[in-house]
Amino acid sequence: MALVVKKFGGSSVANAERVFNVARIITEDYKKGNDVVVVVSAQGDTTDDLIEKAVEINPGNRSKREMDMLLAAGEQISIALLAMAIEKLGFPVVSLLGWQAGFVTDSKYSVARIKNVNPERLRNELDKRSIVIVAGFQGVNKYDDVTTLGRGGSDTSAVAIAATLKADLCQIYTDVDGVYTADPRKIKGAKKLDEITYDEMLELATLGAQVLNNRSVEMAKKYNVELEVLSSLEQKPGTIVKEVTSMEKMLVKGVACDTDIIIVSIIGLKDAPGIAFKVFNQLSRKNVNVDIILQSVGRHGTKDITFTVPKGQKAETLEAIENIRPLIAFDDLVIKDTVGKVSIVGAGMETHPGVASKMFEALSDANINIQMISTSEIKISVLIDAVDCQKAVQVVHDAFHG
């Protein structure tokens, strides 16, 4: 007897057939004697359809409050339909909206943060041995207004419930059957991982392996909620995400490539204190997400600062630098658009110096030029030319998992 939280995304409940598939997964678990809480997203295209209606009526100045009110209807429909399917299979069930399930959030409409989950109603329903279906992605603020949690919000809802109820496991059902050592659609020999740590998962998610939403992994780590990423279409174990993985773990859990970045180099800055602060302070005011930063000594007592930012933030980045140009004075600004960041992720690699050299060797053997290198405790990233990305991931993956 365990308490299990299961989360199903919109594509898992897109039509009646899939709703019944999910209903069967849920009731199979319930029949074993487990308490089951289920978090569901809106069906398939519902959210997009609702957004379209909103844009038709008010493309410009509609409020986020009303947008949240509108979008929250999507999960309301899916929880009721899933509950009806479970009723059809003959099991006790109750669907709950975000506010009914006790989700209290702040008032940042469309990107609200969960403040707490009042577990009373959830516990009462579980005590009655009901299967509980909860609308993901939504809550209420202190004014009793409906809020939504933003992209990936249903994952966060599921983890929050698991944390609140101290669930034994939080299962995130997706259309892939787990977390892989590399993207299995692109890299030969990519292997499914049995286990991965929260930190490794977070690094991989950042690298574009968007199996799990980062906020939900951070919350799972904070409250020590054991996650399982698994497929809603195949009945087999997925990947467990937890604090410490077993001893015989692979050193390198994943290899991934991110081409959604640009390199910005500020050349010939005066070599004086506070210059770097002024640059990055200004970028942070513009909410630019700076990733890798390198500073090197340039010619004639100047220095160069090079960093990466997401492609989508190029405009803000240039604007920020222009804003402070009078304050910092530099010779040149160089932008490089066609760049790829190849990273390997694995807890414990900082104590194995051989890991980095093995990666560099593989790239060198493949004649791929490394432009920048950045390392952290559990990650090594190199910046290379974008056209080499696919090949780079394959040779690095082969080196560690071949």
Q: Does 192 participate in binding a second copy (rule CB under 8 A)?
A: no
- 342 bridge partner residues: 257, 382
Q: Which of 28, 32, 63, 272 binds a second copy (CB under 8 A)?
A: 63
Reported in sequence order, the residue ranges of 113-208 that DSSP labels E, i.e. its strands, are 114-117, 131-135, 138-140, 146-148, 169-174, 195-197
Q: Does 51 participate in binding a second copy (rule CB under 8 A)?
A: no
- 310 bridge partner residues: 261
Q: What are phi and psi of 235, to 5 degrees?
A: -90, 80
Q: Does 54 participate in binding a second copy (rule CB under 8 A)?
A: yes
Tokens of 246: 């077993």
Number of residues that this document lists for the chain? 402
Only one of the segments 62-70, 198-206, 235-243, 394-402 lies at the binding site for a second copy (rule: CB under 8 A); that segment is 62-70
- Scanning the structure block, which residue is given the tokens 């069967």? 24
CA separation for the pair 382, 352 (Å, rounded):
18
Q: Does 83 participate in binding a second copy (rule CB under 8 A)?
A: yes
Only one of the segments 48-56, 194-202, 279-287, 375-383 lies at the binding site for a second copy (rule: CB under 8 A); that segment is 48-56
Kindly state the smallest distance separating residue 77's Cβ from a second copy, in Å: 5
Question: Based on CB atoms, which residue is closest to a second copy, 144 or 234?
Answer: 144
Only one of the segments 143-151, 245-253, 296-304, 393-401 lies at the binding site for a second copy (rule: CB under 8 A); that segment is 143-151
CA separation for the pair 130, 123 (Å, rounded):
10
Closest CA to 311 of 289, 333, 344: 289
CA separation for the pair 359, 389 (Å, rounded):
14
Q: Does 45 participate in binding a second copy (rule CB under 8 A)?
A: no
Kindly state the smallest distance separating residue 84's Cβ from a second copy, in Å: 4
- CA torsion sign, 233 to 237 to 243 to 247? negative
Only one of the segments 74-82, 103-111, 153-161, 290-298 lies at the binding site for a second copy (rule: CB under 8 A); that segment is 74-82
Q: Does 360 participate in binding a second copy (rule CB under 8 A)?
A: no
Question: Based on CB atoms, which residue is closest to a second copy, 50 or 169?
Answer: 50
Q: Does 126 participate in binding a second copy (rule CB under 8 A)?
A: no
CA separation for the pair 175, 173 (Å, rounded):
7
Which residue ranges make up the site for a second copy (CB under 8 A)? Answer: 16, 19-20, 50, 53-54, 56-58, 60-63, 65-67, 69-70, 72-74, 76-77, 79-81, 83-85, 87-88, 93-95, 97, 100, 121, 144-146
